[in-house]
């Protein structure tokens, strides 16, 4: 009987160590899930920012004749950028230029890049003014 003294304490320590390892694994998995969710959220927000930038450029081309002239005369024009300084958590950069290999005065290629933290999403839009309707566009979205 004297040989069995302290065996319960050893078994208790082993059980506590196993529970500690399982708890540490659960904390690690929880942190990974939080990181995955944050990355997904940032990716969705970056996509929305890229789409907003492209739509901003389309509206600008429809309403601002000076802007249209700038995009005709300059080879590549960065039209807008929101700084990523706090409290703004994301940014987008929009570039407007003539569509490649097509020298139509009424055609533009808009590239918008949305950025939130480490996530970046890019949208490319090709637009063409319809000649019979001055206020109409044909828009081709390319993601």
Q: State the average pLDDT over residues 66-74.
A: 73
State the residue range of the domain holding 52.
2-142
CA atoms within 13 A on the CB side of 81: 8
Q: State the average pLDDT over residues 73-93.
A: 66
| Most confident among 17-26, 78-87, 117-126 (mean pLDDT) | 17-26
Strands, sheet with 90-97, edge to edge from the N-terminal-most edge strand:
77-81, 90-97, 107-116, 119-129, 137-142
How many structural domains are present in the chain?
1
Of 97, 134, 128, 133, residue with least CA distance to 112: 97
CA atoms within 13 A on the CB side of 136: 5
What percentage of the chain carries pLDDT values higher than 70? 71
Give residue 64's pLDDT. 80
Q: How far apart are CA 91 and CA 39, in angstroms?
A: 16
| pTM check: above 0.75 | no
Give residue 35's pLDDT. 93
């Amino acid at each position: 009987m004297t040989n069995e003294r302290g065996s319960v304490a050893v078994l208790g320590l082993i059980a506590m160590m196993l529970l500690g390892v399982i708890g540490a694994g659960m904390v690690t998995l929880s942190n990974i899930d939080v990181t995955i969710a944050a990355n997904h959220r940032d990716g969705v927000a970056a996509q929305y920012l890229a789409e907003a930038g492209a739509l901003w450029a389309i509206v600008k081309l429809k309403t601002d004749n000076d802007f249209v002239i700038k995009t005709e005369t300059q080879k590549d024009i960065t039209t807008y950028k929101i700084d990523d300084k706090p409290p703004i958590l994301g940014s987008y950069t929009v570039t407007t230029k003539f569509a490649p290999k097509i020298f139509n005065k009424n055609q533009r290629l808009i590239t918008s890049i949305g950025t939130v933290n480490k996530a970046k999403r890019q949208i490319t839009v090709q637009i063409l003014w319809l000649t019979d309707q001055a206020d109409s566009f044909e828009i081709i979205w390319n993601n």
